Amino acid sequence: MRQRRWFRLVAAAGAFSLLAAACGDDDDGGTTDTTEAEEGAEAQPATDQLVIGRVLPETGPLSFLGPPMIVGTDLAVEDINAAGGVLGKEVKLIKGDEGETPQIARETVNRLLGDGANVIIGAAASGSSQEFIGTLSENGIPQCSGSNTSPSFTDQENADFYFRTVPPDEAVAPIIADRVIEDGHTSVAVVNRADDYGNLLGDLIAQRLEESGATVEGPISYDPEAATFDAEVSRVTNASPDAVVLVSFDEGGQIAAGLIEAGITPDQLYGADGVFGPTFVEQVDPANESVIDGMTVIGAAGTKEFNDRIAEQTNNNFIYGGQTYDCVIIAALAAEAAQSVDGQDIIDAVQDVTSGGTKCTTFEECKQLLEDGEDIDYDGASGTIELNEPGDPTTAVYAIGQFQDGGTLTIVDSREVDLTE
C-alpha cells in the first residue's frame, strides 16, 4: 500500500495568484453543474458512489487552459461509465468554474463538497489549489490536478490528500531552455510575470540557459496588472537578444505585440505553458492571425493519440488535457482497487495503481485486471505514469508547439523525460 504523510491539519490556505467562479447547466447522465459557491459548506460524500467534483477555468484569465482539461474530464467519466462505472455504479460528475480568483475557486469547492463530491479534480492554477487544499485535507477528500506546477505541493504537510499528473516547474525549464539552444540562439532575454509561477520558472530557465553557455538578459519581471509593458519591451530590445522567452498568461500578448513592433521576429519568440493555446494570437493582434507564426510554445500535453481524440472539440488546444483525463482515471482505479470510495482508501491506493503491476492503458483494461486479482500499472493519456510517495509524477511528456499557417497551433515535436535520472 502507498505510504504518505497523514497530517490531518486544518490549514490556513495561502494564495499564490489567479482565478474566479461561475455557473452551469444540468446535463443528462447524472451530471450536475454548480451555480454558485457557499462559504463553510460541509463535505457530504456519497457512501457508495464515486462523485467527482471538477473545479476548472471556464471563465477568467486562465479560461484559455480550460477546454482540453474540461473535455479530458468529460471523456474520462464517459469512458469509466462505458466500462461499468466504479464499484458497480456510474461515476457522477459535478461541474464547477474556477473563474477569476483563488477565493472564488475555494467557494466553488465548498459547494462541490456540499453536493457530495468525494474526489476533486483541479484546480488549474496552483494558487487556486492552495486556497482549498487545507479544506480537502481536513475532510479527507482526495484531490488531483493535471496542471499545478508549483513545487510547494511536494513537501507541504496539508497535501496529504493531494496528487498530480504534471511535474513541478523544475521539469519543464530545461526543455524550454534546451529548445532555445538547439535552435541556435546564444543571447536570450527571459521575461516573466512577477508572481510565484513567473519568478520561479523564469529563474530556472535563465539558469539553464546560462549553464548551456548563453548570455541572458534578465529575468525581467513585470507586474501583470500594469497598464503598459513599454519599459520591459525597451529593456529587451536594448539588449538586442536573438531570442526571447516569455513566461506569462494572456497579458503576454501585449508584450509579444510590442516586441514584434520593435523588430523581434516571431521565430525568435518562445513561450511557456501559460501561452500554450490557440487563442493566444488574439491577445497579440486579433486583426492579424499570422502575427506570431513561427513562435514556439512548450508545455505538458497528452499523447498524440489522445490529442487527436480531443483536437476537434478543443480547436487543437491540448495543454494539460491528457494529464487531467488521467487524474480522473487514476482516482477511479484507486477506488476500484480499494473497493471503496472513502478518501483515505482512495489516496492510499493511488500510487499502487500507477506502478509495479501489469501494464494497462485504459480504465476498462485496468478494471478487468483488478477484477482478475492482479496488481496494475496504469499508463494513460499523458504517457507513462509513475507517481512517487509525495504524489508527484516521475515521468513526463511535453509538447512543443508552433504557431503556423495563420495562427494555427501545431504540435511539431514532443519530449518525454525521466525525472528520476
| Domain span holding position 95 | 31-166+320-382
The DSSP element (H or E) to which 116 belongs, if any, is none
Count, residues in the chain: 421
- CA dist 416 and 395 (Å) reads 7
Same-domain pairing of 201 and 253: yes
Phi, psi (5° rounding) for residue 145? -115, 140
Residues 6+ apart with CB under 8 A from 263: 237
Buried (b) or exposed (e) across 369-400, using 16+ Cβ within 10 A?
bbeeeeebbbbbbbbbbbbbebbbbbbbbbbb
Q: What is the pLDDT of residue 12?
A: 31
Please check whether residue 216 lies inside any domain of the structure.
yes
Same-domain pairing of 251 and 378: no
C-alpha cell at 340: 471503496
Q: CB-hemisphere CA count at 13 Å for 160? A: 20
C-alpha cell at 343: 478518501
- CA dist 108 and 60 (Å) reads 14
Same-domain pairing of 289 and 177: yes
CA dihedral 323, 324, 328, 329 (to 10 degrees): -30
Same-domain pairing of 297 and 353: no
C-beta separation of 260 from 291 below 8 A: yes
Same-domain pairing of 268 and 406: yes
Please check whether residue 333 lies inside any domain of the structure.
yes
Same-domain pairing of 178 and 280: yes
Burial of 48 (0-12, 13-18, 19+ CB in 10 A): exposed
- CA dist 3 and 349 (Å) reads 9
- CA dist 414 and 421 (Å) reads 18
Same-domain pairing of 291 and 337: no
Same-domain pairing of 162 and 175: no
Same-domain pairing of 137 and 186: no
Same-domain pairing of 192 and 268: yes
- pTM equals 0.85
Of the candidates 278, 301, 269, 279, the residue with the CA atom closest to the CA atom of residue 172: 301
- CA dist 167 and 93 (Å) reads 25
What's the CATH number where 401 sits? 3.40.50.2300
Buried (b) or exposed (e) across 314-353, using 16+ Cβ within 10 A?
bebbbbbbbbbbbbbbbbbbbbbbbebbbbbbbbbbbbbb
Specify the number of domains making up the chain.
2
Q: Hey, is 38 helix, strand or coil?
A: coil
Same-domain pairing of 284 and 345: no
Same-domain pairing of 162 and 126: yes
- Tens digit of pLDDT per residue, the chain (421 long)? 333 433 333 333 333 333 332 223 333 333 334 333 334 445 555 568 999 999 999 998 889 889 999 999 999 999 999 999 999 999 999 999 999 999 999 999 999 999 999 999 999 999 899 999 999 999 999 999 999 999 999 999 999 999 999 999 999 999 999 999 999 999 999 999 998 889 999 999 999 999 999 999 999 999 999 999 999 999 999 999 999 999 999 899 999 999 999 999 999 999 999 999 999 999 999 999 999 999 999 999 999 999 999 999 998 899 999 999 999 999 999 999 999 999 999 999 999 999 999 999 999 999 999 999 999 999 999 999 999 999 999 988 899 999 999 999 999 998 888 888 7
CA 370 to chain centroid, in Å, comes to 28
Q: Which amino acid is at 296?
A: T
Q: What is the pLDDT of residue 37?
A: 36
- Report the chain's C-alpha Rg in angstroms: 21
- CA dist 109 and 53 (Å) reads 8
Please check whether residue 362 lies inside any domain of the structure.
yes
Q: What is the pLDDT of residue 419?
A: 85
C-beta separation of 23 from 88 below 8 A: no
C-beta separation of 190 from 216 below 8 A: yes
**DSSP track, 271-340:** E-GGG-STTHHHHH-TT-TTTTTT-EEEEE---HHHHHHHHHHHTS--TTHHHHHHHHHHHHHHHHHHT-
